[in-house]
């Protein structure tokens, strides 16, 4: 007879407690508790570097039935600080799987909890906002409630944290262009995903993934035809160095495309402010309006911060980069989901057009970037 997993406790900073069963590694983990609404793609979610520092709750109740494989990871490891599921699958039933989810959670040292009411926690966060939390299992589960809460409340808040250095590559890597080569593309790795690199290479870019600490001189050393800022974790207001480098990129009139964190840093480079969302957007079912076409796209999101900008019409960049407009708007809450500069070759979106687990409505943005670079090359001749 199989014994039940050891007890585990989830504690939120407002004192809310949920007792369940350990899932993954045993121990203590702390982070910002957030929920992800995707019904599939948990492997891509777990290996998305943008989730560093966050304890991710899956709103889909049944997780793990397709196991884990070597083809779908978005990066070199699992990055979530912790994992919350309601009903972990007891068996793996997919021909591509070579390990179970809980085996990989243990391998990467990810502390999780299962068997709790994830719907109740989601509704609580949906009202009160994302907050710090901790998962305690093994010996740590036996600590008294006051000690659990003290530990959680002493953990750092997400606001003000610069986490890109934790997830970025330390040395540059290069992915060869597929088909006819357009030129070298400098990708500043703030937490880039493999699907992004693959999509850029498929458009003819030789993709040079550079450490997040790279200077403008490091970027120009590869003779780039364009610059790309990736997704990533943390507070955009804590990334002054990357914003300063981006302004040098814009001053040089190099074509620029940014996604997610790269959208927030583009906003800051233009002179706009950013702010923390109450509970953020996470999942693969977020409706966004492309104002240029009038089409509504279902998109993949993972962001807890957003850019402040007027939604209608164009406006002057406070930093002197000409006219700018909001290109995409989130239809659930009117959050800025994209920016387009009208006088320099630069644009960005707040979501993930690569969306390896789907949907693929926004994949055309990589083509838009390719066309922007080709047009800039033509104008330069």
Write out the catalytic residue numbers.
260, 352, 354
Nearest-angstrom CA–CA distance, 148 and 133: 10
Nearest CA to 136 among 53, 27, 51?
27
Alpha helices by DSSP H, listed for 168-323, are 194-202, 216-220, 240-251, 261-270
Nearest CA to 371 among 336, 339, 347?
347
Q: Which residue has the tokens 């906002």?
A: 129
Structure tokens at 152: 């959680």
First to last CA, the chain: 74
For residue 288, give the H/E element and its range.
strand 274-290
Query: Would you say 222 and 192 are in contact if contact means Cβ atoms under 8 Å apart?
Result: no
Nearest CA to 135 among 51, 251, 22, 235?
22
Query: Would you say 57 and 84 are in contact if contact means Cβ atoms under 8 Å apart?
Result: yes
């Amino acid at each position: 007879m199989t014994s039940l997993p050891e007890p585990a406790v989830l504690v939120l900073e407002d004192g809310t407690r949920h007792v369940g069963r350990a899932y993954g590694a045993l121990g203590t983990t702390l982070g910002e508790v957030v929920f992800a609404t995707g019904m599939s793609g948990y492997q891509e979610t777990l290996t998305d570097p943008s989730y560093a520092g966050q304890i991710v709750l899956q709103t889909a109740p049944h997780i793990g039935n397709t196991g884990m494989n070597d083809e779908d990871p978005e990066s070199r490891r699992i990055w979530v600080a912790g994992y919350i599921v309601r009903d972990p699958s007891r068996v793996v039933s997919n021909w591509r799987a070579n390990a179970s989810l809980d085996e990989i959670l243990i391998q990467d040292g990810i502390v999780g909890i299962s068997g709790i009411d994830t719907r109740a926690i989601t509704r609580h966060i949906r009202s009160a906002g994302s907050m710090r939390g901790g998962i305690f299992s093994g010996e740590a589960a036996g600590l008294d409630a006051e000690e659990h809460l003290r530990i959680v409340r002493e953990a750092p808040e997400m606001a003000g944290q610069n986490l890109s250095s934790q997830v970025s590559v330390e040395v540059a890597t290069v992915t060869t262009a597929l088909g006819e080569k357009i030129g070298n593309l400098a990708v500043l790795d703030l937490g880039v995903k493999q699907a992004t690199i693959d999509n850029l290479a498929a458009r003819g870019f030789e993709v040079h993934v550079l450490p997040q600490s790279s200077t403008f001189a490091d970027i120009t050393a590869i003779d780039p035809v364009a610059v790309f800022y990736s997704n990533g974790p943390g507070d955009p207001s804590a990334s002054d160095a990357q914003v300063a480098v981006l302004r040098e990129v814009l001053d040089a009139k190099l074509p620029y495309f940014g996604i997610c964190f790269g959208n927030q840093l583009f906003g800051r480079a233009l002179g706009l402010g950013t702010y923390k969302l109450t509970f953020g957007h996470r999942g693969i079912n977020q409706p966004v309006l492309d104002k240029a076409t009038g089409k509504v796209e279902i998109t993949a999101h993972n962001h807890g911060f957003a850019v402040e900008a007027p939604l209608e019409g164009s406006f002057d960049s406070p930093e002197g980069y000409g006219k700018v407009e909001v290109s995409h708007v989130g239809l659930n809450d009117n959050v800025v989901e994209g920016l387009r500069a009208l006088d320099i070759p630069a644009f960005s979106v707040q979501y993930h057009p690569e969306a390896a687990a789907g949907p693929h409505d926004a994949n055309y943005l990589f083509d838009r970037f390719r066309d922007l670079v080709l047009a800039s090359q033509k104008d330069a001749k």
